[in-house]
Structure 1
Amino acid sequence: MSRVALVTGGTRGIGEAICTALNDAGYKVIANYGGNDEAAKAFTEKTGITSLKFDVSDFEKTKDAIEHIEADYGPIDVLVNNAGITRDGTMHRMSFEQWNAVIQTNLSSCFNTCRAVIDGMRERKFGRIVNVGSINGQAGQYGQVNYAAAKSGIHGFTKALAQEGAAKGVTVNAIAPGYVDTEMVRAVPPEVLEKIVAKIPVGRLGNTNDIARTVLFLVDDTAEFITGSTISVNGGQHMY
């Protein structure tokens, strides 16, 4: 039987590439999304992958959704926490709402999803959790104290949970992407993007498949000796 994989923020960008790669590798994939119904519909029509709308920043809604997923498709053995938003602004202009939205969606969501699956993974003595951090959680970024804090928190969360799961066959790792060619990055003004690319030693933006391939490596059944790691996929921009 195929292992069931849940990918949050799974219908666009990096999440879409992760879902497609897992699906092609034989996993039964469920893609979570938060709000863009049109994009989710197009994603499912194109890939045949089930998309399910629920708010990962809400503990009870996440718990209920995961219970329904497991009832319908079987236990979740692979969890990829990819959901994320930005609400950029310098500290002296940032509202609490901007801060809180990013912390809840990007960081608290990892607790919400992991808490819902961890007991089952421990009982079955198998689990693969991959949390998507960011280069900006490692190096910081002007105007992103909320985003950098959340992504940095993911890296610490990963290391702590990895220690708890190791003896039970549950690995927990993080990926820290650099600047990847997605809608979010394409919205950056061209002159700014040019400066960013100039700082990347390999000379290009990442692509979504660079991240998806790393996820496939980490969630494989044979990747049992890799846990608590943060793998930087950034073209050498920040060596951490």
Structure 2
Amino acid sequence: METNHYQYITEQIEHYSSKPLREAIFFVIKNAIIEGIFLPGDRLTEDDIAQQFNCSRTPVREALRKLEQENLLQVKPGIGMVISNVDIELLHQELEIRKMLENYSIQKACEGITEEELKKLEWATDKLQQAINSNDRIAASRANIEFHRLLYSYSRNTFLQKTTDSLWLSFRISFLSARNEDVTMVDKSWYEERNNEHLQLIQAIRDKDVEKAIRVNTIHIQKNYDYYLDYIKRVSE
């Protein structure tokens, strides 16, 4: 395991210290995969992770098995456990499910969102704009995830929030593109247009205009997926 992997995991461990060990390991490794700390094809071993978490291999094995079930890890004969490549078919499936679940969350948010919660959405858009201004695509991806996770949380539906924990394949691609492309090539106008859609969505929710909110969000999700698919096409050529 490389030095930057150890550093990232060390920083994340404390954040999940209140969770059972197998869950903490699962979330720390999952975040590392989503944020591009671990890249497709990177090999993971139970011994390395157990050493980092200062634990036995049993909770590590349980966490890795769950990550494999979410298609983030795969076993390769003669190699072992490796980070999975991006599956385009899964990305298309995520697109359809995410539209339904996120638009449902928006509908529920329109029914009972508070001004404080609206402010949190606005703060997330501010973070995203700051990241755009500084050409920091890693920070931009984090701010974007924060915005959409807030939307799910405002559904007041615990089951939905747990279900959507596995719907971050598209955000993984966002982080990977940030890691693998020259940050000076960031298309600021494209990112600003997406952030403007966030602002339009916030206003529609504030106005309790469910139809407009769902229309804005559906377009927003589709444009993001078009971007991710274009990225996959370019890196595959």
TM-score (norm 1): 0.31
Which structure has more helix as a fraction of its residues? 2
Which structure has more strand as a fraction of its residues? 1
TM-score (norm 2): 0.32
Answer with 1 or 2: which has the greater Rg: 2
